[in-house]
Amino acid sequence: MTRNEFYGEVNFDGLIGMTHNYGGLSFGNIASANNKAKPASPKNAAKQGLAKAWHLARLGYKQGILPPQERPFLPILNKLGFNGNNQQLLQHAAQDKRLLANISAASSMWAANAGTISPKYDCKDNKTHFTPANLITNTHRALEAAQTTKMLRTIFCDEARFMVHDPLPNQSLFADEGAANFMRMSKSHGEKGVEIFVYGRDGFESYSGKFPARQTMQSFEAIARNHQINIDKTIFTRQSKQAIDAGAFHNDVVASANENVLFYHEFAFENEEALKREITQKCDFEPVFIRVDNNDVPIEDAIKSYLFNTQILSKPGERMTIIAPMECYETPSVKKFLDELITRNTPIGAVEYVDVRQSMNNGGGPACLRLRVIMDEADIKSIKARVMLDEGLYSDLVNWVDKYYPETLLPEDLGDFSLLENNYAALDELTKIMHLGANFYDFQK
């Protein structure tokens, strides 16, 4: 690799699907519960997501896009004993609004939950390993795993470079939510790193909390083994129950890492000091800990604003930039913290605010919307699908959204057969725009 070739982080954002709505489906996710049944705007949602991705691409960061899934997802209904043509199947599902909502969620937009990824620099066989998340804690999310696996294998198709595993077994012991509970620290992205797996519960214990702990220790141990990463450079640490009970259903709601920086709320981990010691011992560089005290930013403000669901981005020769949702700008304690942070002597030197409100209202911030993959130029060139965001793809996708997406959507609209037909037509066209091949979606078979 020559020095002027790119190697570093590529952010793949989930393109928001046209059934985006507020279903109130995620127990323990406060925004999802608070916005249940409010009108959503799929068109605005998709455009906000694309605008965020395009903004980052224009700032000079490598940016990719991941296609949405087909929803409402009818194939599951056959397995549940319903019969008939598509229209009849949808009518059956519409008899039970809860079932309809679960098979209709556009939740694959939150690409941080697509899977856990170990960059090749950490893996024995020098391949980048992916484990798609089984997402079994929530029905609407568990439906994503099969298509996510297919999508990752379609995009990261070069088997000499990428290894896409099957999701872990669908058992509570192996409950897995992917990169939302994973952090990696390294001197720079394109070097060996320390992988930090943050679990919410030990799957063999009985867990009782106000809200579910979605990730088990056993799932992450299995992933670390499958990815063949060096155990001396691996850390397993427990998310605090206090954080989960406050609404941090994923670790990326209270902590985030980028290269040598760990940015976290003081209540994020069960044992902060032990974690810091282990990081210091396992990193072959000086880690920087940016701890946010509850006195400065109460955990409720952190969760409401998604201060830690910001994207911390690196560019060679520059201080890091934080991409924060507008809600951080509007939450006084958080705005004050960020204003001060960039004046302090830390690697973070700038903040940019983006509007992803439609997603935020379902508990998905800027960092939830993206899957981080460390790649070099040759890895990127090996991708055959048209997923790397440039001006041409951005404008094709915006036009596509304008052509098909509804302005507003309520949960009760999901049973409308014309919405399903429109979605199939849209996704059919999308597979051509993004060069995803024939039969990418079940309905195309």
Q: Does 136 bind ligand SUG (CB under 6 A)?
A: no
Which of residues 190 and 363 has its CB atom nearest to ligand SUG in the complex? 363
Choices 44-52, 268-276, 289-297, 361-369 (CB under 6 A): range interacting with ligand SUG: 361-369
Active site residue 123: no
| Alpha carbons 48 and 414: distance in angstroms, whole number | 22
Angle value at C-alpha 149, between 147 and 154, nearest 5 degrees: 90
Pick from 10, 18, 19, 29: which binds ligand SUG (CB under 6 A)?
Answer: 29
Among 14, 17, 24, 68, binds ligand SUG (CB under 6 A): 24
Contact 298, 331 (CB under 8 A): no
Judged by beta carbon, residue 106 or residue 436, the one nearer ligand SUG is 106
CB of 437 to ligand SUG, least distance (A): 28
Query: Omega before 287 cis (within 30°)?
Result: no
358 contacts ligand SUG (rule: CB under 6 A): no
CA 306 to chain centre: 14
Contact segment (CB under 6 A) with ligand SUG among 10-18, 22-30, 43-51, 123-131 equals 22-30
SS3 state of residue 195: strand
Q: Give the nearest distance from C-beta 327 to ligand SUG in angstroms.
A: 14
Nearer to ligand SUG by C-beta: 34 or 444?
A: 34
Site for ligand SUG in 141-200 (CB under 6 A): 141, 180
Contact between 250 and ligand SUG by CB under 6 A: the answer reads yes
Q: Which of 69, 141, 101 is nearest to 424 (CA)?
A: 69
Compute the least distance from the CB of residue 59 to ligand SUG, in Å.
22
Q: How far is the CB of 106 from ligand SUG (least distance, A)?
A: 8
Q: Are 264 and 291 in contact (CB under 8 A)?
A: yes
Binds ligand SUG by CB under 6 A, chosen from 19, 32, 219, 310: 32
Q: Rounded to whole angstroms, what are the CA distances from 434 to 23, 220, 351, 400, 413?
A: 29, 32, 31, 11, 28
User: 106, 19 in Cβ contact below 8 A?
Assistant: yes
Task: Please report whether residue 105 would count as binding ligand SUG according to CB under 6 A.
Answer: yes
According to CB under 6 A, which one of 19, 41, 63, 107 is a site residue for ligand SUG? 107
Draw the binding track, 253-292, toward ligand SUG (x: CB under 6 A; -: no contact).
x---------------------------------------
Is 250 assigned a catalytic role? Answer: yes
Does residue 234 bind ligand SUG (CB under 6 A)? no
- The whole-angstrom separation of Cα 156 and Cα 158 is 6
Which of 103, 123 has the CB closer to ligand SUG?
103
Mask 65-94, x = binds ligand SUG (CB under 6 A)? ------------------------------
Catalytic residue list contains 177: yes
CB closer to ligand SUG out of 107 and 431:
107
Instruction: Taking each helix axis as running N to C, give the angle between helix 391-404 and helix 417-433, from 0 to 180 degrees, rounded to the nearest 10.
Output: 160
Q: How far apart are the C-alpha atoms of 160 and 125, rounded to whole Å?
A: 10
User: Do 67 and 16 form a contact (C-beta atoms < 8 A)?
Assistant: no
Q: Does 23 bind ligand SUG (CB under 6 A)?
A: yes
Give the span between the Cα atoms of 388 and 150, in whole angstroms. 18
Pick between residue 119 and residue 363 the one whose CB is nearest to ligand SUG: 363
Contact 193, 186 (CB under 8 A): yes
Helix 42-58 × helix 391-404 angle, to 10°: 170
Beta bridge partner(s), residue 229: 123
Q: How crowded is residue 85: how many other Cβ atoms within 10 Å of its Cβ? A: 9
- List, by residue number, the catalytic residues: 177, 250, 368
Residues within the interface to ligand SUG (CB under 6 A): 22-26, 29, 32, 105, 107, 110, 112-113, 141, 180, 249-250, 252-253, 362-364, 368
